[in-house]
Chains A and B, each alone.
Chain A
Amino acid sequence: MRIETAAYASRWQGVAPSAKALFALGGMGAAWVATRPGTLAALAAVMALTALAGARVPPRTYMAVALPPLGFLLLSCLTMLVTPGVDGAWHWAGAMMPTVTRTALRSLAMLAALLGFVLSTPLPDLLALLRRLRTPELLLDLMALCYRMLFVLRQAWIDGVTAQSARLGYRGWRNAWRSTGLLAGQMAVQVWQRAGALQMAADARGYQGTLRFLPAEFPQARRQNAWAALAAALLLLAAAGDRL
Chain B
Amino acid sequence: MNTLLEMRAVSHTFADGSAGLHDCSLVLGSGRRHALLGANGAGKTTLLQHLNGLLRPNAGRLLLEGRPYDYGRSGLAQLRRRVGLVFQNPERQLFSAQVEEDVSFGPLNLGLDAATVRARVKAALEAVGLADQARRAVHHLSFGQKKRVCIAGVLAMEPDVLLLDEPMAGLDAPMQEALAALLDRLAARGVTILLSTHDIDFAYGWADDIHLMAGGRVSASGPAQRIGADVDALEAAGQRPPLALALHAHLVTRGVLPAGSGSGTPPRSVDAVLDALRVLPFKPLMKTPT
Contacts and interface: CB of A to CB of B under 8 A. Distances in A.
A213 B137 contact: no
A206 B77 contact: yes
B105 A212 contact: yes
B216 interface: no
A197 interface: yes
Classify the interface of chain A: helix, strand, loop or mixed.
Answer: helix
Contacts of B91: 152, 155, 194
Contact of B106 (A144, A194, A197, A206): A206
B87 A201 contact: yes
Given A205-B153, A213-B102, A148 B96 contact: yes
A202 interface: yes
Given A122-B137, A212-B109, A206 B121 contact: no
A201 B95 contact: yes
B95 A212 contact: no
Nearest to B121: A214
Interface in B133-158: 135-140, 153-154, 157
A151 B100 contact: no
Given A212-B109, A213-B101, A213-B104, A205 B157 contact: yes
A177 interface: no
Interface in A104-131: 122-124, 127
Classify the interface of chain B: helix, strand, loop or mixed.
Answer: helix
B98 interface: yes
Nearest to B101: A213
B264 to A, nearest CB: 43
Given A201-B92, A204-B52, A204-B54, A148 B97 contact: yes
Interface string A192-213: 0010011011111111100111
Given A204-B52, A205-B153, A211 B139 contact: no
Interface in A137-195: 144-145, 147-148, 151-152, 155, 194
B117 interface: yes
A14 B134 CA distance: 12
Contacts of B105: 202, 205, 211-213
Contacts of A217: 118
A216 interface: yes
A194 B80 contact: no
A8 interface: yes
Contacts of B108: 212-214
In which size bucket is the chain B interface? 35 or more
Nearest to A206: B109
A226 B138 CA distance: 31
A151 B139 contact: yes
B154 A205 contact: yes
A103 B140 CA distance: 40
Contacts of A4: 137
Interface centre among A205, A208, A215, by most chain B C-beta atoms within 10 angstroms, is A205
A197 B92 CA distance: 6
B120 to A, nearest CB: 10
Nearest to B89: A197
Interface string B68-82: 000000000100110
Contact of B117 (A13, A145, A203, A214): A214
B110 interface: yes
A8 to B, nearest CB: 6
Interface in A7-41: 8, 13-14
A200 B54 CA distance: 7
Nearest to A152: B91
Nearest to A4: B137
B137 to A, nearest CB: 6
Contacts of B85: 204
A203 B106 CA distance: 10
B109 A207 contact: yes
Interface string B108-142: 11100010011001000000000000011111100
Contacts of A202: 95, 105
A211 to B, nearest CB: 7
B166 to A, nearest CB: 15
Given A200-B54, A206-B157, A208-B109, A216 B96 contact: no
A148 B138 contact: yes
7 contacts: A8-B137, A144-B96, A198-B93, A201-B93, A205-B153, A206-B80, A214-B108
Given A197-B93, A214-B121, 19 more contacts: A8-B136, A124-B101, A152-B139, A155-B91, A198-B95, A200-B49, A200-B54, A202-B95, A203-B80, A204-B52, A204-B54, A204-B84, A205-B84, A211-B95, A212-B104, A213-B96, A213-B102, A214-B101, A217-B118
